[in-house]
């Protein structure tokens, strides 16, 4: 397996498929790089060097005790880019929590080397409901997530991932086997990393960093996302980012990288080719 070493010594697993312009795929919470496979393969086949890495504490990366704030996580992204030689004409694609790494890289690292960005079901710009962010998610929801993880993590994931993929009594956009695989991937992460990252994406305010997106940016969000509501994220992100294009997927849930993977593949390929 392939690893890079972050500036604090943490070992981060990555995989790089194909040759050509680098496209870095940053996964969501609480998954791993493997969640991108169905998108990464056609991107590589289309002539891009497609790189996906496991966030520290998840998948095959080292389970450090610290480093789960967005400053540290954007530093990890910078270190991955440096060590694999992705220094110019880079496209960053962040799903859910991964959108935060994209935003913080654009501000903290001045977007070095990046010429395209995409936010997919992203938590940017601010998830938490506050007086000046009334469309956000109430703190009690995040408290419930933490309590559920501490009490019975596999049990919590059982319900969480049904909402994540929009599975209901009359809706089955992914198979039971895919749901179980997703839970297995999530259980590879450390409990510490899972809790700390949930706090990071719930409480980090990226609103002041939207202007740092100085490259063409694609924002993709499902209108039925019950995990990261579009009115708290996709719509205000697109409104605040210069040169952003918003594509709303009518009726799509949070995990549209699987439920709407063909459409997302086509939209990403079209965006990258512009």
Q: Which residue has the tokens 């049904």?
A: 162
Do the Cβ atoms of 126 and 103 come closer than 8 Å? Answer: no
**Mean pLDDT, all residues of the chain:** 98
- Kindly list the catalytic residues: 96, 225, 254
Angle between the N-to-C axes of helices 139-165 and 176-187, in degrees from 0 to 180, rounded to the nearest 10: 140
Q: Class of 2-273 per CATH?
A: alpha beta
What distance in Å separates the CA atoms of residue 218 and residue 116, rounded to the nearest whole number?
Answer: 8
pLDDT value of position 19: 97
Give the pLDDT confidence of 107-164 residue by residue, as tens digits.
Answer: 999 999 999 999 999 999 999 999 999 999 999 999 999 999 999 999 999 999 999 9
Give the pLDDT confidence of 74-114 residue by residue, as tens digits.
Answer: 999 999 999 999 999 999 999 999 999 999 999 999 999 99
Domains of the chain, by residue range, sit at 2-273
pLDDT value of position 169: 78
Give the pLDDT confidence of 239-261 residue by residue, as tens digits.
Answer: 999 989 999 999 999 999 999 99
**Dihedral (Cα; 202, 204, 209, 215), 10-degree rounding:** -50
Q: What angle do CA 2, 109, 191 make, to 5 degrees?
A: 55
pLDDT value of position 145: 98
The pTM score is 0.98
Give the pLDDT confidence of 197-223 residue by residue, as tens digits.
Answer: 999 999 999 999 999 999 999 999 999
């Amino acid at each position: 397996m392939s690893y890079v070493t972050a500036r604090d010594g943490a070992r981060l697993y990555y995989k790089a498929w194909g040759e050509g312009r680098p496209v870095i795929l940053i996964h969501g919470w609480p998954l791993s790089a493997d969640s991108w496979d169905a998108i990464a393969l056609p991107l590589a086949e289309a002539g891009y060097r497609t790189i996906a890495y496991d966030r520290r504490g998840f998948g095959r990366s080292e389970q450090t005790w610290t480093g789960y704030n967005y400053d540290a996580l954007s530093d990890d992204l910078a270190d991955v880019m440096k060590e694999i030689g992705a220094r110019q004409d880079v496209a960053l694609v962040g799903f859910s929590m991964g959108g935060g790494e994209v935003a913080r890289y654009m501000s903290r690292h001045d977007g070095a080397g990046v010429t395209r960005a995409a936010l997919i079901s992203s938590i940017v710009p601010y998830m938490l409901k506050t007086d000046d962010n009334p469309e956000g998610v109430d703190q009690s929801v995040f408290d419930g997530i933490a309590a559920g993880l501490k009490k019975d993590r596999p049990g919590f994931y059982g319900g969480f991932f049904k909402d994540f993929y929009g599975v209901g009594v009359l809706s089955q956009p992914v198979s039971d086997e895919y749901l179980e695989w997703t839970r297995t991937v999530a259980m590879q992460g450390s409990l510490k990393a899972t809790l700390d990252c949930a706090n990071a994406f719930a409480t980090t305010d990226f609103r002041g960093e939207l202007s740092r997106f100085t490259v063409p940016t694609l924002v993709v969000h499902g209108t039925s996302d019950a995990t990261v509501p579009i009115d708290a994220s996709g719509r205000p992100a697109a409104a605040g980012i210069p040169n952003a294009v918003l594509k709303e997927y009518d009726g799509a849930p949070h995990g549209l990288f699987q439920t709407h993977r063909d459409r997302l593949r086509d939209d990403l390929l079209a965006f990258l080719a512009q």
